[in-house]
A and B are shown apart, each in its own frame.
Chain A
Amino acid sequence: MFNTFLVQTVKELKEFRRDRLSVALAFLLPLFSLLLLGFGIRLESKSIPVVVRDSDNTSLSREYIARLYATNMFVPADADPKESLTRAIDRGEAKVAVEIPKGFTGKVFTGSVSPFKVYIDGTDISNVQVLTNSIEAANLYFLSVLHQTRQPDAQLSPVVPETRLWFNPGREERLFIVPGAFAIVLWMYPALLAAVAASREKEQGTMIRVYASNPNPLSFLLGKAAPYFMISLVMAIMVMTVGAIIFNVFPVGDPTPLIVSTPLYVLVSVLFGLMLGTYAGSQTTAVQATSSIGFFPCLLLSGFVYPISNIPFPLNLFAIVVPGKYFIELTRDAFVRGTGWSAVWYVPVVLILFCIVELGLSCMALRRMQEKD
C-alpha cells in the first residue's frame, strides 16, 4: 500500500521533470497569469474624457469646471463643445458631457435648485455608476469649497457625506486584486497539472496496465496527488513572493491562517484536477473540463471581481461550492485586513471538506480498477 504510493510518486515526479508542458504549467504560466491579473484588471476609472458646454460663462461656472477637472478623474475631450453634446458621446470622443445652463451662477447664490444636464455613456455599464458617483463627488466638493471660501455665512449648507475607506485607505486596487489573483492562479494551475497527469494515463493507454496490476485505488490516487501537491506548494510560494515584490502586497497581522490554508487550498485544487482526470477519457476533455468547470466559476463566482452579493439568486448559491470563494476571503484578510483566525476560522474546515469529497469521488471512479463499457 505504502509501496504503491511511493512508486507512484517517484514515477510522477520523473515524468513531470521530462514533460516541458507540465513544467511550464507549474512555473511559467502561473507567474504570467499573476502579472496579467495584477496589472490587467482595473476597476476604478481614471482620465475619463468629458466635454463641457458652458452656457453661463461666469467666473463661478468656470470655477466649477476647474473643480471638475481637479478631481483628477476627468480630462477634457477632444470634442468641440459647440456641436451637439450627444454627438461627442455618439462618436465615442467623450464618456461624459456636461452642460451648464444660463443662470447657473444666479441660482447657486440664491440657494435654489440649479439644474444642469449630464449625459453619461451608458454602453459601458460598469462605468455608469462610477461616473455618476464621480460627478456627484465633484459637485459636493465644489459646493463645500464654495461654502467655505465664498459664503461662510450663507444659510446654504449642502450635506457632504464623508466616507472613509477602512483597510485600504488609498483605495489601492492592487490590494483588492492581487490577493484574489493568488486564489485564481493557485486554483487553475495545480488543477490543470493534476488533470493532465491523470488523463495522460488513459490517453497513452497505460491506465489499463495499472488496473491489471491491481493497486489500491486510494494509494494510487494519493501517490499521484503527492508530487503535484509538492510542486504546487513551490508554485504557491513562488507566486506569493513575486506578488509581494512586484505589487508590494505583504501579509498583515497573524500569518498562521495563510500558512495553514494555502497548502489545503492547493491540495483541493490538485485533487479537483485529479478527479476530473480520472473521469475524463482523454487529455483534451480533462483540460477543457478543468477550465470550464474549474476556472470560470472561480473567476466569476468567487467574489474575485464582482461581489457575490451582486450575483442574482439562484446563481449565487453556486458560490458556496467554489473553493476559491473561501480562499479569497482568507487572502483578503491575510493581506489587507489582518483580523486573523477569528474572521477566517471556517476556511480550513471547508477546504478539508472539499478534499474529502473530491478524494471520495475519485475513488468511486477507480473503485473496481476496471475499464468502463
Chain B
Amino acid sequence: MTNTMTQPKTRSNTDENVVTVHALVKRYKKGAEALKGLDLDIKKGDLYGLVGPDGAGKTTALRILAGVMEPTSGDTKILGKRPSEARSLIGYVPQNCALYPELSVEENLLYQAGLHGVNFEDIEKLKETHLEKMGLLRFQDRLASKLSGGMKQKLALCCALVGKPKLILLDEPTTGLDPIARRELWQALSTLSHEGVTAIIATPFLDEAERCNRIALMYEGKIQLEGPPRDLQEALGMRRLTFQIKTQEKLNEAPAIVQELSLDSVKDIYPFGDRLEVLSSEKEDAEGQIRQQLNDAGLELSEGRESTPTLENVFVIKLKELESEKAATTVEFPHWKNQSSKSGPEPGVAALKARNLVKTFDDFRAVDDVSLEIKYGEIFGLLGANGAGKTTTIKMLCGLAKPTDGEVELVGEKTDLRKVSVRKDIGYMSQKFSLYDDLTVRENLNFYAGIYEIPLKLRKQQIEWVIKACNLQSIENSIVKSLPLGWKQRIAFGAAVMHDPKIIFLDEPTAGVDPLARRQLWTLIRDFAANGAAILVTTHYLDEAEFCNRLAFMADSRVIASGTPSEIKADHKGKLFEVNPRDTQNAFRTLSEALDHWRVAIFGSSLHVLLDDENDSERVKSILSSAGEKPELRSIDFTLEDAFIDVVQRSHRANDGKDRMQMQTSGDEPVSQKSQGGDS
C-alpha cells in the first residue's frame, strides 16, 4: 500500500508534542466537574491509553481534544493550535461509532470524506486503501446497521482516517467487542501508530491498555499515574504471587486466612476462580508464610507462580489509596426462603443440566449439541465471540426459548421451565440492566420486589440488604438515569437477586464497567455462590473469566473447550512466546508472512507468537535475525485470551469452509485475522 508504512518508528528522538494539555478544567452547567486540572503531553506516534473507570472524565477529555466541546479553563494545544481550529488534523471516533445506520459501508465513508473536503478524484483511492486495510472492502454495500460490533468499530476508524489526520481519538472502541474483534482493532491501531499517526484511546479495560506504549490512569477528573505500562508496573515495586488452590470449596475462605497473617508486605489479596493472587512487596518470605498458612488451614495447593503485577494491580492499589477501602464491608444476605421451608440447595448437586441442546432457526444451527452441568455453589462462565450462540443457549437454559432438540433440567424441573415455582428460583440480569431510568434506586427495587412476589413483611428487609450490600446508601433516592454505569450494574444485580434465587443467570454483567466496580460485583457474585446459588455468567472479557470456577468456550454454535481456567490454559498443544523487537511493525509483518498469520499478535511493543512446539522457536529466531532483530524469545504463560483465540482458530480450521459461510450468513464477520500490511 503506502510507503509510509515501512518507515521505522522514530519516536525516541522527536520532541514534537502532538497534544499538550495544561490544567484543563471542565465544569458542566449542572455543576458536575468532569475534569479537575488535566495535564497531558503526547508525542508523535504515541499509542496513548486514557484508562479509568466510568465517570473519570475520559469522554469529556476526548471531546475537548476533538474540539467539539469548550473547556471551562485551561490550555489545550493540538500541534500548536486550539482544538476547534485543528479539527481538520483530528480523526474522532465517538463511543457509539457515530455511523449512519441507513447508509452502507461505502456511503458512510464517502460522506465523511466529503465532510473532510476530500477531493472526489481521491475518493476511489481512499476507499480502496482504508476499506481494504480493515478487511471491509467486500462488505462495502452492506448497511451499517447490519454490521457486527467489530466491523462497526473498524468502519468508524476508517471514517476517522479519511481526512488523513495526524491525531486520532477513540472513545472506548472495544466496549462490547469479542476478543477476536478486539485483537484485530488493536492491531490496526498499532499499525497506525507505527505509520506515525498519534492515537489516544479511552478504555476502561486495563488488560488492553497494556498494548499502549504510554498510558494515563484517570480517576475523578485527574491523572493519577502516567507512563509506559511496564514502567508503571515496575514502579509499583511488587510481585504478584499466585497460589493455585486445589480444594475449591475452601477458596472463598482463603483471603481471610491470608489476612490473618497480617503481613506488612502484602498489599492486596484477591481470589480468582481457581487460585489466590497476592500482591506483595517482598517475595521469598511472604510466599513461604502464606503457603504454610494455607496448608495449615487445610487448603491443598499445587505449584505457585510469581510474576510482574498487571496494570489492573497497579490501578487497584492506586484506587485503594484514593478511596481508602470504601467497599470493604460485606453484608450477610438474609436468605428468607431457605429458612422458611424448602430445603436449601446442597453444594455439589447439579442445579442445571443440559443435554445435547440443539436450536435451529430455519436451516441455521444457532446451538449445536451443547451439554452443560452447573452445580449449586458454582460459578460457571460461558464464553464466546459475538454470534457464537451464547445468548440462544442462555435463553434455552432459563426456559425463554424452546430447544429444537435436547433436554434441560432446571432446579429439578424438566417439563415446564416457565412455571411459577421455577421462575421464582431464577434470577436473571440482562446486559441492558432493565432498570427504569426515571425511577429512583429505591423505587426500582420496590418494583422488582413486587414482581418477584417477595412477601410484604420481608420486602423492606430485602431492599435494605440490597442497598447495604451493593453500597447504595448514598444514592438510594437518586434517579437511576443520572447514575454511572457501575452503579446501575450493582442495582441491577441487587434487583435480580433480591428474591434469593437458586440459579442466577448473568448475561454480560460487566460490559463497560471499571475494574474496581467489577471487583465489587464479583465479590457479590462469589458471596452468592458461597451461599449455595448456582451462577451462570456470559462474558467476552476473558480476564473476567478467570473469576469463574469452570468455563465453557463456545464457537460456531458448539462448546469447543471446557474446564477450570487453569485447565484450559494448560490444555494447549502449542507454546506461547514473547518477542520484544526493535521495530515491532516490521517484525510483525515478517513473522506473520513466514508463519500462519494467526500465530502472531501485537501486544503493545511486543509480539506474542504461538508455536506448536518448542523446536519451532529456532525457526522463529532465524527469521528474526534475518529481519535484523535480536533472535530472542521468551516463553510465557497462556492468557485466557490467547487460549480462546487459539481454540477458536483451531475450530475454524477444523471445518473451515462450512463455518465461514455460516458466520457470514449470520451477519458476523469472518474471524480471519487480516494482517494489515500483508499484501504489499
Using a CB–CB distance below 8 Å, which chain A residues touch chain B? 3-4, 6-8, 10-11, 14-15, 18-19, 204-206, 208-215, 368-371, 373
| Contact (A14, B102) CB under 8 Å given A4-B114, A7-B114, A373-B29 | yes
- For the A-B complex with A3-B114, A368-B70, A370-B69 known, give 9 more contacts whose Cβ atoms are closer than 8 Å: A3-B117, A7-B115, A8-B114, A11-B114, A14-B107, A205-B96, A206-B100, A208-B66, A215-B115
Complex Cα–Cα for A210 and B98 (A): 9
Task: Tell me if B101 counts as interface (CB < 8 A to partner A).
Answer: yes
By the criterion CB–CB under 8 Å, are A4 and B117 in contact?
yes
12 CB contacts below 8 A, A to B, read: A8-B115, A11-B114, A14-B103, A205-B96, A208-B68, A209-B159, A212-B66, A212-B68, A213-B112, A213-B116, A371-B69, A373-B28
By the criterion CB–CB under 8 Å, are A206 and B114 in contact?
no
B117 contact set on A, CB distance < 8 A: 3-4
Task: Tell me if B90 counts as interface (CB < 8 A to partner A).
Answer: yes
By the criterion CB–CB under 8 Å, are A15 and B102 in contact?
yes
| A-B interface contact total, Cβ < 8 Å | 88
- Chain A residue with Cβ nearest B27: A373
Using a CB–CB distance below 8 Å, which chain B residues touch chain A? 28-30, 63, 66-70, 84, 87-88, 90, 92-96, 98-103, 107, 110-117, 143, 159, 163
Complex Cα–Cα for A7 and B116 (A): 10
- Chain B residue with Cβ nearest A214: B87
- Chain A residue with Cβ nearest B67: A212
B113 contact set on A, CB distance < 8 A: 7
Complex Cα–Cα for A210 and B100 (A): 11
Complex Cα–Cα for A6 and B84 (A): 23
Complex Cα–Cα for A209 and B62 (A): 12
- Chain A residue with Cβ nearest B159: A209
Q: How far is the CB of A351 from chain B (nearest CB, A)?
A: 31
A4 contact set on B, CB distance < 8 A: 114-115, 117
Q: How far is the CB of A326 from chain B (nearest CB, A)?
A: 36
- Chain B residue with Cβ nearest A212: B92
By the criterion CB–CB under 8 Å, are A212 and B90 in contact?
yes
A19 contact set on B, CB distance < 8 A: 102
User: Which 5 A-B residue pairings sit nearest by Cβ, starting from the closest?
Assistant: A7-B114, A214-B87, A209-B98, A212-B92, A213-B115
Q: How far is the CB of A197 from chain B (nearest CB, A)?
A: 11
Instruction: Identify which of A6, A204, A369, A373 contacts B100 (C-beta below 8 A).
Output: A204
By the criterion CB–CB under 8 Å, are A11 and B100 in contact?
yes
By the criterion CB–CB under 8 Å, are A11 and B103 in contact?
yes
By the criterion CB–CB under 8 Å, are A209 and B92 in contact?
yes
Instruction: Identify which of A7, A18, A212 contacts B111 (C-beta below 8 A).
Output: A7
Instruction: Identify which of B28, B29, B67, B96 contacts A214 (C-beta below 8 A).
Output: B67
By the criterion CB–CB under 8 Å, are A11 and B107 in contact?
yes
By the criterion CB–CB under 8 Å, are A18 and B102 in contact?
yes
B143 contact set on A, CB distance < 8 A: 18
Complex Cα–Cα for A369 and B116 (A): 14
Q: How far is the CB of A204 from chain B (nearest CB, A)?
A: 7
By the criterion CB–CB under 8 Å, are A214 and B102 in contact?
no
Complex Cα–Cα for A202 and B92 (A): 16
Complex Cα–Cα for A317 and B159 (A): 50
Q: Is the interface of A mostly helix, strand, loop or mixed?
A: helix
Complex Cα–Cα for A370 and B70 (A): 7
Q: How far is the CB of A189 from chain B (nearest CB, A)?
A: 20
By the criterion CB–CB under 8 Å, are A369 and B68 in contact?
yes
B159 contact set on A, CB distance < 8 A: 209
Q: How far is the CB of B106 from chain A (nearest CB, A)?
A: 11
Complex Cα–Cα for A211 and B92 (A): 10
Interface hub of A18, A214, A215, A368 (most chain B Cβ within 10 A): A214
Complex Cα–Cα for A8 and B111 (A): 7
Complex Cα–Cα for A233 and B679 (A): 50
A373 contact set on B, CB distance < 8 A: 28-30
Q: How far is the CB of B63 from chain A (nearest CB, A)?
A: 6
- Chain A residue with Cβ nearest B114: A7
- Chain A residue with Cβ nearest B91: A212
- Chain A residue with Cβ nearest B169: A212
Interface hub of A10, A15, A209, A373 (most chain B Cβ within 10 A): A209
Q: How far is the CB of B384 from chain A (nearest CB, A)?
A: 28
B96 contact set on A, CB distance < 8 A: 204-205
A206 contact set on B, CB distance < 8 A: 98-100
Complex Cα–Cα for A213 and B111 (A): 11
A7 contact set on B, CB distance < 8 A: 110-111, 113-115
| Contact (A370, B98) CB under 8 Å given A3-B117, A213-B112 | no
Complex Cα–Cα for A236 and B238 (A): 75
B116 contact set on A, CB distance < 8 A: 213
Complex Cα–Cα for A209 and B155 (A): 13
- Chain A residue with Cβ nearest B92: A212
Q: How far is the CB of B99 from chain A (nearest CB, A)?
A: 7
By the criterion CB–CB under 8 Å, are B98 and A208 in contact?
yes
Q: How far is the CB of A221 from chain B (nearest CB, A)?
A: 14
Complex Cα–Cα for A4 and B163 (A): 14
- Chain A residue with Cβ nearest B162: A213
A10 contact set on B, CB distance < 8 A: 111, 114
- Chain A residue with Cβ nearest B72: A373
Complex Cα–Cα for A10 and B104 (A): 13
A368 contact set on B, CB distance < 8 A: 70, 84
- Chain B residue with Cβ nearest A373: B29
Complex Cα–Cα for A206 and B30 (A): 24
Complex Cα–Cα for A3 and B66 (A): 22
- Chain B residue with Cβ nearest A215: B115
- Chain A residue with Cβ nearest B104: A14
Interface hub of B30, B88, B98 (most chain A Cβ within 10 A): B98
Complex Cα–Cα for A19 and B66 (A): 30
- Chain B residue with Cβ nearest A208: B94
| Contact (A370, B84) CB under 8 Å given A210-B115, A213-B163 | yes
Q: How far is the CB of B538 from chain A (nearest CB, A)?
A: 26
Complex Cα–Cα for A202 and B117 (A): 22
Q: How far is the CB of B672 from chain A (nearest CB, A)?
A: 28
B95 contact set on A, CB distance < 8 A: 205
Q: How far is the CB of A130 from chain B (nearest CB, A)?
A: 48
A370 contact set on B, CB distance < 8 A: 67-70, 84
Complex Cα–Cα for A215 and B101 (A): 21
- Chain B residue with Cβ nearest A206: B98
By the criterion CB–CB under 8 Å, are A6 and B115 in contact?
no
- Chain A residue with Cβ nearest B110: A7
Complex Cα–Cα for A19 and B143 (A): 12
Complex Cα–Cα for A239 and B412 (A): 66
Q: How far is the CB of A294 from chain B (nearest CB, A)?
A: 25
Interface hub of B70, B90, B115 (most chain A Cβ within 10 A): B115
B69 contact set on A, CB distance < 8 A: 370-371
A371 contact set on B, CB distance < 8 A: 63, 68-69
B94 contact set on A, CB distance < 8 A: 205, 208-209
Q: How far is the CB of B149 from chain A (nearest CB, A)?
A: 15
B102 contact set on A, CB distance < 8 A: 14-15, 18-19
Q: How far is the CB of A214 from chain B (nearest CB, A)?
A: 4
Complex Cα–Cα for A208 and B160 (A): 12
B30 contact set on A, CB distance < 8 A: 373
Complex Cα–Cα for A210 and B96 (A): 14
Complex Cα–Cα for A8 and B114 (A): 8
Q: How far is the CB of B127 from chain A (nearest CB, A)?
A: 14
Q: How far is the CB of B582 from chain A (nearest CB, A)?
A: 35
Interface hub of B94, B95, B99, B111 (most chain A Cβ within 10 A): B111
- Chain A residue with Cβ nearest B116: A213
Q: How far is the CB of B79 from chain A (nearest CB, A)?
A: 15
Q: How far is the CB of A269 from chain B (nearest CB, A)?
A: 23
B115 contact set on A, CB distance < 8 A: 4, 7-8, 210, 213, 215
